[in-house]
Amino acid sequence: MLADLYRTPRYTQGVADALRESATSAMWDDWDLAGLLVDVPNQFAQKMGARHGIFCCTGTAGLHSSLMALELLPGDEIVVPCMTFIRAITPLVHLGLVPVLADIDPQTGNLDPNSLDKAIGPKTRAVIVVHMWGIPADVRAILSICKEKGLYLIEDFSHAHFSQHSDGAVGSFGTVSFASLQKKKTLSVGEGGLIVTSDEGVYERLRAITSPGSFQGTPNYNEFSGFGLNFRMSPFSAVVARCLFNQVDEIVSSRATHATVFNKILSGLPSYFIPPFIPEYAKTVSAYGYKPALSDKIALEKLALGNNHGLWKFSRFSYDHILSSPFWRKSRSHYPFALQIYPRTPVEFPGYAEYSRGRVSLAVPTIGGDYWTQEIIDKWQQSLVEAVNN
């Protein structure tokens, strides 16, 4: 039962049937895969409130393509949060762009708008905002600063598929936005990515970058520009994406429900747990992760030993400061082109230090939200009380 609570990806028989049917159809002879590479990503984008969507092979490829589509030049500086996955940084290095690390909000773990004053300089061209764990960043304030400074806003909504800010869906605010659809993400196609934009010029460049010559009806159809990187999504992943589209609301609602229940249970033991902070502007939290904090009264090791029912899956908080990544040391040995690129950064990150203090990871179930009957909630709550008092 426990393994089934957290199984991922969680596909239905309908997905298996669709894959089998597609593999024996004539769609493989069609560049557009019978609409899978154009119609379906556009549906995702328009559901978010953007005009255009493009599938790609990974979230990293989505960032790489987005940076290329903005026509940035080597030496340009891009502001990124000091706490994020290293792959949200490495495409910058490959393109000769300089990451500038900005501090995070000590409550949400997202990019702190107040840190941008120190991070933005004369060479800054764009700001990347990451909506960590499904909690929307303060994108209203960040977008206002970007407009004032004439900067591109790039959103990484890999953790926040269809999370809702009070002003709209995350991912709909950026000049261009991208997300990973990797196997552990809220919406998983096994491996893949999604890019969305409402900018026509950016969209046309993204088409040439991600799938050169493969969009029928475009001027360069069946021609290869030479600059495209062939970042297309696998046809099998695209089939899964089409199946998932009609399940988006149900999946996102379930993830939000799990987080809400966890908040309720942990709030019942305020001497030991501090649930994640959810800002007022966050209308829906599509919880990819759940990161509470422990007080000094309880240790992670004690929770693990006292987890007699095996329901709770606590682990150490694993998102270290991005500057501590071994990438920056290894790049000098393995990637000569990266020798002159190193993040520009302030001396300290007080927001990160405060946010990470006592922080732990708690796995979020992948089952439907209807799992949480009052009887089940009581069972989880009792098991946590036993773990604390063990």
pLDDT tens readout for residues 33-67: 778 888 999 999 999 999 999 999 999 999 999 99
Q: What is the pLDDT of residues 98-116, one digit of tens each?
A: 999 999 999 999 999 999 9
pLDDT score for 229: 82
H runs (alpha helix) in the chain: 2-5, 13-23, 39-48, 59-69, 90-94, 116-119, 139-149, 200-210, 235-245, 248-267, 300-305, 327-334, 350-356, 374-389
* Residue range(s) occupied by CATH 3.90.1150.10 in the chain: 249-317+358-389
pLDDT score for 175: 98
Among residues 139, 195, 146, the alpha carbon closest in space to that of 167 is found at: 139
Q: Using CA atoms, how far apart are residues 360 and 133, in angstroms rounded to an integer? A: 13
CB 292 within 8 A of CB 371: no
User: What is the C-alpha R_g of the chain?
Assistant: 21
Q: Is the model's pLDDT at 179 over the cut of 70?
A: yes
Average pLDDT in the 376-386 region?
A: 94
Q: Which two tokens stand for residue 47?
A: 């559901």
Q: Which helix (H) or strand (E) holds 127?
A: strand 124-130
Q: What is the pLDDT of residues 299-352, one digit of tens each?
A: 999 888 878 778 999 999 977 777 777 666 666 666 666 656 777 776 689 999
pLDDT score for 348: 83
pLDDT score for 335: 64
CB 164 within 8 A of CB 136: yes
Q: Is the model's pLDDT at 166 over the cut of 60?
A: yes
- Please tell me which residue, 32 or 297, carries the higher pLDDT value: 297
Q: Which residue has the tokens 């050169």?
A: 212
pLDDT score for 389: 87
The fold for domain 249-317+358-389 equals Aspartate Aminotransferase, domain 1 (3.90.1150)
pLDDT category at 212 given cuts 50, 70, 90 is low
Q: Is the model's pLDDT at 20 over the cut of 90?
A: yes
Stated pTM of the model: 0.93
pLDDT score for 314: 94
Among residues 327, 328, 65, 8, the alpha carbon closest in space to that of 179 is found at: 65
274 bridge partner residues: 293
Q: Looking at this protein, which amino acid is placed at residue 365?
A: P
Q: Is the model's pLDDT at 366 over the cut of 60?
A: yes
pLDDT category at 31 given cuts 50, 70, 90 is low
pLDDT category at 355 given cuts 50, 70, 90 is very high
Share of the chain above pLDDT 90, in %: 72
Mean pLDDT of the chain: 90
pLDDT score for 120: 96
Neighbours of 261 (CB within 10 A): 18
* Residue range(s) occupied by CATH 3.40.640.10 in the chain: 2-247
Q: Looking at this protein, which amino acid is placed at residue 155?
A: E
Least confident of 190-199, 269-278, 318-327: 318-327
CB 116 within 8 A of CB 135: no
Q: Where are the beta strands (DSSP E) in 170-212?
A: 176-180, 193-197
List Cβ neighbours of 98 (8 Å cut-off, separation of 6 or more). 75, 76, 77, 78, 92, 123, 341, 343, 344
* CATH number of the 2-247 domain: 3.40.640.10
